[in-house]
Amino acid sequence: MNQNKFDLLKTEFSFAQQQMDKYDQLAMTVKAWAVTLWVASSGWALDSGKKEILLLGIVLVISFWFFDGINKTFRTHYKHRRDEVAKILREYCETGNIEKNVTSPQPPPYSLKGFFKNTMLLHISLPYVVFIAISVVLYFV
């Protein structure tokens, strides 16, 4: 019985880690697109002399910031899940037993509070705030 639970928990751990890796890759893609489109819109605005296009760049940056925050929220939930499974597996390695009532953990429920918290994390928000600030400065110069 312990071996079956152990195998399921290993699979659960692996799945959660794969999901985290997927969200990490998605975060890099979102940031790359945000930079690319912001640079393109800023260049277009400066080249054409139409400063209103900088406002489009700000809208693009805010949109990607939103998606990055959602992505971080999903990743955080899988991290929580992976950490719970890791704790159970660690206990199994130390004691050789898995409690009878151990089940695969459920991710925490999604909430707007968690989303906004993740969106405002420094490593998420800083690039977007910088792009917005540069756009505003260019708009008023």
pLDDT tens digits for the chain (141 residues)? 578 888 989 999 999 999 999 999 999 999 999 999 999 999 999 999 999 999 999 999 999 999 999 999 999 999 999 999 999 999 988 988 888 788 776 766 777 888 999 999 999 999 999 999 999 999 999
What tokens were used for 29? 């893609």
Cβ–Cβ under 8 Å, residues 63 and 44:
no
Please identify which residue in the block is written with the tokens 């660690």: 90
pTM: 0.86
Please identify which residue in the block is written with the tokens 């704790």: 87
| Domain count of the fold of the chain | 1
Domain that holds residue 65: 2-140
In terms of Cα–Cα distance, which of 66, 72, 41, 69 is closest to 54?
41
Rounded CA gap, 35 and 124, in Å?
13
